[in-house]
Amino acid sequence: MDKIHSHRQVAAIKHSLFDQGYLDEQFIQLEELQDDANPNFVEEIVTLYYRDSSRLISNLDHTLERNPLDFNKLDTLMHQFKGSSSSIGAKRVKAECTLFREYCRARNGEGCRRSFQQMKKEYATLRKKLETYFQLARQAGPLETAYRPK
Amino acid sequence: MDNGCFSSPRCDFPAGLRVLVVDDDPTWLKILEKMLKKCNYEVTTCCLARHALNLLRERKDGYDIVISDVNMPDMDGFKLLEHVGLEMDLPVIMMSVDGETSRVMKGVQHGACDYLLKPIRMKELRNIWQHVFRKRIHEAKEFESFESFESIHLMRNGSELSDDGNLFAVEDVTSTKKRKDADNKHDDKECTDPSSTKKARVVWSVDLHQKFVKAVNQIGFDKVGPKKILDLMNVPWLTRENVASHLQKYRLYLSRIQKENDQRSSSCGMKHSDFPSKDLGSFGFQNPVNKQRDVSIDSYNYSDGSLQLPNVETKSHEGDPKRIVSQSTIAKKGRALNGSITDTNMRESLRVGLNQTFAPLESEGNHAVFDCSIPTQYSWTEVPDMQLKEEHKSLVHLEDSFNQMPLHGKQHHIHVDQSQSVASISSAPSITGEEVAACIEAKPLFSDYKNDHGSSVNSIGNAVDTFPIQPGSLVMNDQSLEPISTTNSGLKTQGYNNLSCIPDLEIYQRSLLLGSEAASAPLDADLHFHWLQGDCYNMNFGLQSIGMSEYYDPGLIAEAPTHLYDSADYSVIDQGLFIA
């Protein structure tokens, strides 16, 4: 019973992530790739994403501190970051990236900074939620065991 | 690689498709790898474009398709795309999170066969095999035979010259085989017993092939026919069909070499060059290597009578002499050639040729021959003459070994790879062969030809100098040309003539005269398929081509020519090649 409950919990978290627009279809794609050969594939990918993208974020931070702003470079960096974020289906993060790039094209420094802050918030929020999700999923164990008769 | 590689074609295509993924984003790289593995593809990942190019260059036939991101730190994705297309002629798929029309258009312009938007769905990756298949079909149809022959030659040379040759040959065989696989799958011949046209698979050993070549040369490039060859060869167990199919392949092979030469030189860009209608020589020769002639593939459709030769671009600077792009006068060939080879085909053949390490060399040689012999705008006799003349001159500059067709060498050197591609143009099959023959014979025969080409020839000769390999390659062409003498495979024959080093002026003369005959004899598509059936050939050829490249290594050049030019060597080479 506990297991089933855990699984339900996990499922609920996932649904809310989708409902609230944190994740998109790409995340499901990743889950479909998960198999016996790579049982923790999704988590590995997310971990990899957060590790690699932190580098991009610090780059963006530095570039935003410059004066005057190098919008081309910012655009390029954000383009990279957006591509990376699309890999795990980070929907909200991606939306902020798009907004950021629009500000870049408009040469709107203030808009860029604002949008960048917002993006970082979404990025952090998603990370926490996914961490919880994976933790619970691991605790719940494979779905089959939940229904194994005692 | 062992011969066994090509003895068992992949019947489960597209499973096992060898994909190279290039993306600087590690997350995507991992995802794509997993996705592709789920599609049962063989995946290799790479996060640097430079590294990817190295991988591709190291194993020329190690991959079937490349998927690359557009935005990469060390190299622009489009640049990588260009390189891959030119050097390896592999289908390339671009990816990006940016789906702007302009970007997509740029991708297509640079030669991408598809442009995927990130996030990429697995179903999109499932179908990437179609690009490989499509290419194979095109290649197989037009150049399978060329490749085979080519590889045979290459293999022979390669095995003779060095172990590398064998290595290459093997690899090439595999690649050829892979190509064939696609085709075989298509034809369903590989997987089953190829019995539709032949009773039994004939293994064209080196000796056998030598006999074949000798017979072809004896009969006359342009007059050759399966029955005649069969009679001359005097091999009791050989059937007419065997010879016929082998002949086709031989022709295609020559054409292909020519084509490849062309391709290489023109960076796959061929546009209709404006040949001075009267001046064939000027056509090919006057355009110095530097001149980049874009011979549109269309030109290969000889029907319009203007075969455009891609400008010879010596790609030697790339460190690959084979690349030497020769300004083949392929355009010239266009004259009477039936444009059986469509642009696509040409490109593909060229690309194919490019892939073949050997191809460049040979094709160039062939190409040169081609140019010589294929006067697109002139009558048969005319054109070859011009060609020959020029070729003579250029040949003179070339190594001595090119006694036959020094000129060829020159031009070829540029075209070596191209000739193959030109060969593909084989639409003017007969012409090609003849022309080639003419070119080869040019020296003695066409001494009285116009001299205006001389200068151009000389210039080409210089160009040739840069590519020492050329002479060797030319020689090869000569050889190949001769045997082919049949008009049907003008291009093919060229390739063959080159290979066979047949310094038989008479034959060439005849070839020249045959012009008309050749011109009218379009490559028989069936021939291609016949050729295709002999996948073992292809394999060998592939190897050959590989070997050739190896062979043509500047360092080896000194040796190569002798080997190449000697018909006896040819048979030796055959031995190496006809492993099947």
Assign B43 to helix, strand or coil.
strand
Burial of B288 (0-12, 13-18, 19+ CB in 10 A): middle
Instruction: Report the alpha-carbon distance of residue B398 to residue B106 in Å, rounded.
Output: 41
The whole-number average pLDDT for the span B158-173 is 45
Provide the 3-class DSSP secondary structure of residue B322.
helix
In one-letter notation, the amino acid at residue B188 is D
User: In this model, does residue B468 exceed pLDDT 50?
Assistant: no
Q: Does the pLDDT value for residue A54 go beyond 90?
A: yes
Cα–Cα dist B564/B576, whole Å: 13
* DSSP-derived 3-state class of residue A91: helix
Cα–Cα distance for residue pair A93/A85, rounded to 1 Å: 7
**pLDDT computed for residue B70 by the predictor:** 92
Mean per-residue pLDDT, B18-25: 93
| Residue contact B35–A33, C-beta within 8 A | yes
**What are the tens digits of pLDDT across the range B46-67?**
999 999 999 998 887 889 999 9
Q: What is the three-class DSSP state of B117?
A: strand
pLDDT score at B220: 80
How do residues B184-212 score in pLDDT, each as one tens digit? 444 444 434 444 444 456 667 777 888 88
Judge whether A95 is closer than 8 Å to chain B, CB to CB. Answer: no
Cβ pairs bridging A and B (under 8 Å) = 57
**Is it the case that residue A83 has pLDDT exceeding 80?**
yes
pLDDT digits (tens, 9 = 90+) for B314-336: 333 433 334 333 344 433 443 43
Q: Please, which pLDDT band fits residue B228 given cuts at 50, 70 and 90?
A: confident
The three-state secondary structure class of B66 is strand
pLDDT: which is higher, A17 or B468: A17
Lowest mean pLDDT among B111-115, B161-165, B476-480: B476-480
Number of continuous H segments (helices) and E segments (strands) in chain B: 29, 5
Helix or strand (DSSP H, E) at A3: helix A2-19
> pLDDT band for position B405 (50/70/90)?
very low
Res B76 pLDDT > 80:
yes
The encoded tokens of residue B68 equal: 């690359």
**According to the model, what pLDDT value does residue B158 have?**
52
Residue of A nearest to B29 (CA): A87
Nearest-angstrom CA–CA distance, B109 and B556: 38
Whether the link from the prior residue into B14 is cis, omega within 30° of 0, is yes
Cβ contact B28–A82 (<8 Å): no
A78 φ/ψ angles, rounded to the nearest 5 degrees: -70, -35
Q: Give the model's confidence band at A5: pLDDT under 50 very low, under 70 low, under 90 confident, else very high.
A: confident
Q: Could you say which of B30, B35, B118 has the minimum Cβ distance to residue A86?
A: B118
Q: What is the pLDDT of residues B525-578, one digit of tens each?
A: 444 444 444 444 444 443 443 334 344 444 444 444 444 444 444 444 444 444
- Its pTM stands at 0.45
Number of H helices, E strands in chain A: 7, 0
Whole-number pLDDT of residue B157: 57
Element (H, E) at B94: strand B92-96
Which of the 8 DSSP states describes residue B270?
Answer: B
Confidence of residue B397 (pLDDT cuts 50, 70, 90): very low
pLDDT at position B465 is 41
Residue among A45, A76, A83 whose CB faces B30 most closely? A45
The answer to whether B221 touches B514, Cβ cutoff 8 Å, is yes
β-partners of residue B68 are B22, B94
pLDDT in tens, A87-119: 999 999 999 999 999 999 999 999 999 999 999
**Do B35 and A41 count as a contact with CB atoms less than 8 A apart?**
no
pLDDT tens across B244-278, in order?
888 877 877 777 767 767 766 654 444 444 434 44
For all residues of chain A together, what is the average pLDDT?
90
> What does the pLDDT average to over A28-50?
93
Helical H runs in B14-48?
Answer: 26-38
> Do B71 and A88 count as a contact with CB atoms less than 8 A apart?
no
Decide if B411 contacts B326 (C-beta within 8 A).
yes
Measured between alpha carbons, how far is B142 from B422 in angstroms, rounded to an integer? 11
Distance from CA of A146 to the nearest CA of B (A): 27
- Joined together, the tokens standing for residue B56 give 């591709």
What mean pLDDT comes out for the span B94-101?
89
Q: Over 60: is that where the pLDDT of A149 sits? A: no
pLDDT given at position A4 = 80
Q: B97 at the A interface (CB within 8 A)?
A: yes
Instruction: Inform me whether the C-beta atom of residue A47 falls under 8 Å from chain B C-beta atoms.
Output: no
Task: Judge whether residue B68 has pLDDT over 70.
Answer: yes
Interface touch B97/A83, C-beta < 8 Å: yes
| Cβ atoms of B408 and B365 closer than 8 Å | yes
For the residues of B212-263, what is the DSSP string, one character each? HHHHHHHH-TTT--HHHHHHHHT-TT--HHHHHHHHHHHHHHHHHHHHHHHH
Cα–Cα distance for residue pair A7/A2, rounded to 1 Å: 8
Q: From CA B577, how far away is CA B232, in angstroms rounded?
A: 22
Per-chain mean pLDDT for chain B: 56
Spatial CA neighbour of B473 closest among B273, B317, B257, B282: B257
Is pLDDT of B497 > 50?
Answer: no
Place of tokens 């089933």: A4
Cα-Cα-Cα-Cα dihedral sign, residues B262, B265, B269, B272 = negative
pLDDT band at B145 (very low <50, low <70, confident <90, very high): low
Residues of B in contact with A25 (CB under 8 A): 119
